[in-house]
């Protein structure tokens, strides 16, 4: 999953080593969230290619038809929950847990348990903290 790594993103407080990935899929029913995540990923040069899906069914189809280096999934979506989608992708061995990121405004203790049982550890709450998100997605920081 990791591609070329280099120091290319710097804030006033931190310098990041960004590891490029070829393709990222963002699955979220909120256009504003998809746009924010896409902007972060492109501006930090983590990737040059971001594909979007606005619900879990379309996201599942895209994830099965094309291999992505990383998939970012909202939990609460119409037609299919993000957790069900993530567990399906792991169960059919299409993706490893570390290739999946779940974002949500609310996760119950049952939701968290399901993710932990599926070995998914990349979980973000909304609103998204940009520095923390970049740290996770870029895999490494120098400080």
For residue range 6-48, list pLDDT tens digits in order. 544 455 555 555 567 789 999 999 999 999 999 988 988 888 8
pLDDT value at position 102? 92
Q: How high is the pLDDT of residue 4?
A: 54
Is the bond leading into 105 cis (omega within 30 degrees of zero)? no
pLDDT surpassing 90 at residue 64: yes
User: Is the pLDDT assigned to residue 143 strictly greater than 50?
Assistant: no
- Across all residues in the chain, what is the average pLDDT? 83
Closest CA to 29 of 79, 100, 64: 79
The residue-averaged pLDDT of 59-67 equals 94
Beta-carbon contacts of residue 98 (< 8 Å; ≥ 6 apart): 1, 121, 122
Query: For residue 4, how many other CB atoms are within 10 A of its CB?
Result: 10
pTM score, whole prediction: 0.82
Instruction: With beta carbons less than 8 A apart as the criterion, state whether 138 and 17 touch.
Output: yes
- Tally of CB atoms within 10 A around 9: 17
pLDDT at 142 > cutoff 50: no
Q: Residue 11: what pLDDT?
A: 54
Strand 100-104 and strand 123-125: the pairing is parallel
């Amino acid at each position: 999953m990791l591609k070329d790594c280099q120091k290319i993103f710097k804030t006033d407080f931190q310098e990041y080593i960004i590891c490029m990935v070829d393709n990222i899929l963002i699955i979220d029913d909120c256009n504003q969230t998809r746009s924010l995540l896409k902007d972060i990923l492109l501006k930090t040069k983590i990737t040059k290619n971001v594909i979007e899906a606005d619900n879990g069914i379309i996201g599942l189809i895209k994830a099965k038809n094309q291999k992505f280096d990383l998939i970012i999934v909202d939990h609460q979506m119409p037609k299919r929950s993000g957790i069900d989608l993530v567990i399906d992708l792991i169960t059919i061995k299409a993706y490893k847990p570390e290739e999946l990121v779940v974002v949500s405004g609310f996760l119950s203790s049952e939701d968290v348990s399901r993710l932990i049982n599926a070995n998914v550890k990349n979980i973000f709450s909304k609103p998204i903290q940009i520095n923390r998100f970049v740290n996770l997605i870029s895999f490494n920081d120098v400080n």
